[in-house]
């Protein structure tokens, strides 16, 4: 596959690094319940969860910026118009998810009077203390996290559908390969 038929190395690297961090974020969320509430293990898991989430936010901003300057390689053979619309909607939903989740957590933690830290560095507060608002924001964060499972699953299923059923180059454009 020619270089022009693939995403740039930067785009490919950011895509797969984002996926890896999403796996870590969800793993920390799902596994923290194995430890008592105030245990050191749970505190580490919460720190990794929030730090990876905020890293995803930064990577997403970089990804969106690169999309402004790099065209997506063509899909061959071209999918139907409805699939192209669906893909655009799915990508918009995924980007909204990747931006909203860390920001909701940041606002929510600040609303509870907490300080948000990423990799040990305290971040500025985005909101003042309002515990009722904080509860609503964190509940929304948790709801969207569950929706995220469906978004990510549908994205992966669509890539597999393109690869194995449509037999186009959708998936191959984003796969990491050796130069």
CA distance 161 to 167: 8
> Which among 4, 155, 2 is positioned nearest to 70, based on CA atoms?
4
24, two tokens: 């870590």
Express each pLDDT in 139-153 by its tens digit. Answer: 999 999 999 999 999
The SS3 call for residue 118 is strand
- Residues 160-178 have a mean pLDDT of 92
Contacts with 159 (C-beta within 8 Å, 6 or more apart), sequence order? 170, 171, 174
| Displacement of CA 160 from its chain's centroid (Å) | 19
pLDDT at position 179, please? 44
**Res. 109: pLDDT tops 70:** yes
Statement: the pTM of the whole predicted model exceeds 0.85? yes
The alpha carbons of the chain give a radius of gyration, in whole angstroms, of: 18
Element (H, E) at 137: helix 131-161
**Res. 3: pLDDT tops 90:** no
Express each pLDDT in 12-68 by its tens digit. Answer: 999 999 999 999 999 999 999 999 999 999 999 999 999 999 999 999 999 999 999
Site of tokens 């893909």:
87
């Amino acid at each position: 596959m020619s270089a022009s038929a693939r995403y740039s190395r930067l785009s490919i690297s950011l895509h797969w690094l984002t996926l890896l961090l999403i796996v870590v974020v969800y793993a920390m969320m799902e596994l923290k319940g194995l430890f008592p509430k105030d245990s050191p293990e749970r505190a580490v898991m919460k720190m990794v969860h929030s730090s990876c989430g905020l890293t995803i936010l930064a990577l997403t901003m970089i990804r969106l910026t690169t999309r402004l300057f790099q065209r997506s390689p063509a899909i061959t053979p071209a999918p139907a118009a409805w699939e192209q619309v669906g893909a655009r909607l799915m990508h918009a939903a995924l980007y909204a998810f990747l931006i909203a989740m860390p920001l909701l957590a940041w606002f929510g933690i600040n609303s509870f009077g907490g300080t948000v830290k990423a990799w040990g560095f305290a971040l500025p507060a985005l909101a003042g203390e309002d515990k009722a608002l904080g509860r609503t924001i964190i509940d929304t964060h948790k709801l969207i996290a569950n929706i995220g499972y469906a978004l990510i699953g549908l994205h992966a299923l669509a890539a597999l559908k393109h690869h194995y059923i449509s037999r186009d180059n959708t998936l191959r454009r984003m796969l990491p390969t050796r130069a």
